[in-house]
Amino acid sequence: MSNNKILSSLFEQVTGQQPAQIAAMPSSGSNRLYFRLYPSTGARTMIGVIGTCREENDAFIYLADHFRSKGLPVPEVLAISDDHMAYLQEDLGDTILFNAIEKGRQSRSFSADEKELLIRTIRMLPDIQFLGAVGLDFSHCYPAKEFDKRSIMWDLNYFKYCFLKATGLEFQEDRLEDDFQAMSEVLMRGQSSTFMYRDFQSRNVMLTTEGNPLFIDFQGGRKGPFYYDVASFLWQAKANLPGSLRQELIGEYINALRKYKPVDEEYFHEQLRHFVLFRTMQVLGAYGFRGYFEKKPHFMQSVPFAIANLRELLDNPYPEYPYLNELLRQLVDMKQFTNEMANRQLTVKVMSFAYKKGIPNDATGNGGGYVFDCRAVNNPGKYDRYKPFTGLDKPVIEFLEEDGEILSFLDHCYALVDSSVERYIERGFSNLMVCFGCTGGQHRSVYSAQRMAEHINSKYNVKVELVHREQNIEQTFQKK
């Protein structure tokens, strides 16, 4: 029997009428097929699901029924085929959280409304994990009833064989396996009798018209530690959350978690970072399988975001896994990933100029950035003995620093530029321009631009291009 006939029969069981239309919906990461069924009159639309695995379908059906009995916002299953390979569920609409926060994801600057949606979602996660576990028979979960060492090693080897080997990076399997074993020990410290959603991410959160979260695609869940879902949600590759927002959302989660258990925040953060590393490796394995082997471009497009997450994690090394730490550092530094990173990293262009020759144009088309006017600072150029020199020469440097005005001026400039550099890095912007102008572009502006470039280079891992326009001097400070 065709898919349409199966779904039509189920629709008629519920409504007493044949559907007027059955429209295929975009596929997700799985092999399940989704359809929207439209009534001819009166009845509501429904979502039809054609699965490829009865056990997986049964897991979803059981969990949906159990969660609804606890008052959790999940879709109702309305009808099930005799062979359990197809079912109808409540239509929750088309608004998913992933799309609702699209502007924030693209700019890394999330509006108040977008933040509120994320906060509402993360606050509800402990309800699913703790309330959802009450009376839950985990034997219905598929493909495993519990997060254990076996499932940990399966995911780690998924990363090894489907992603790491596909990159061509050579490694020592015995040393890697030793660290995998060490990681499994650390992760099992966080074990609890809670429901682990496993794929808790913004694509699996629907929104009502009032912006209230509804949860889908939990059929892969099992008994397991609550840290995993926090890592999954906040470090979802394409969610592109800035670090400051992640920390705010972790705070919201901890406050909601206290409804169910006391929280040692220091231990929570320490344990969470291990789950973030594990989850990042797990999703890279999934991206490798779906991208390298199944040739699905959507998954390969997510790889740079996951690599960026991994690179950020390694800034605070994992001494528990010395060989893995070393290997992952080699991985993120591979040319195929660093080229992508170079296109995404920030370049700060610092220039000195003479006002009489005009303010420099911004060749990137971003509008110019900062322009600081140095002409209020005491000018060494009015003294004949300093006229042969520039702001790079010792006599001028000593004059300006002993006078002191320029030091106070630069302190204010540093504060402004630092705030922008930090936000630009966080938001994934690629260019910032900082210009210093004075009368002749020789003394005060040159000194200021040189000091600003050195300041940024010493403080941030960005590329700094320094140009003293009127002196025809250029210098590049490479990323550390």
Confidence label for 203 from pLDDT (cuts 50, 70 and 90): very high
11 CB-near residues (< 8 Å, 6+ apart): 17, 18, 19, 37, 39, 46, 48, 79, 88
- For the entire predicted model, the pTM comes to 0.75
Q: Which residue has the tokens 């977008």?
A: 114
Sign of CA dihedral 285, 291, 292, 295: positive
AA identity, residue 31:
N
Q: What is the mean pLDDT of residues 40-57?
A: 93
Question: For 148, left (φ over 0), alpha (ψ -120 to 50), or beta?
Answer: beta
* Domains annotated on the chain, with CATH: 3-90 (3.30.200.20), 97-342 (3.90.1200.10), 345-477 (no CATH)
Instruction: Supply the Cα-derived Rg of the chain in whole angstroms.
Output: 28
Number of Cβ atoms within 10 Å of the Cβ of 154: 14
pLDDT of residue 343: 58
Q: Is the pLDDT of residue 460 over 90?
A: no
Task: Give yes or no for a contact between 105 and 111, defined as CB atoms under 8 angstroms apart.
Answer: no
Confidence label for 342 from pLDDT (cuts 50, 70 and 90): low
Instruction: Give the helix, strand, coil percentages of the chain, each rounded to 5.
Output: 55, 15, 30
What are 218-239's pLDDT values in tens digits? 999 999 999 999 999 999 988 8
Phi then psi dihedrals of residue 201, to 5 deg: -150, 165
What are 69-81's pLDDT values in tens digits? 999 999 999 999 9
The span from the CA of 82 to the CA of 135, in Å, is 27
475 CB-near residues (< 8 Å, 6+ apart): 453, 465, 466
Q: What is the mean pLDDT of residues 414-436?
A: 88
Q: What is the mean pLDDT of residues 411-432?
A: 88
Percent of the chain with pLDDT over 90: 78
Q: Which of 195-199, 421-425, 439-443 has the lowest mean pLDDT?
A: 421-425
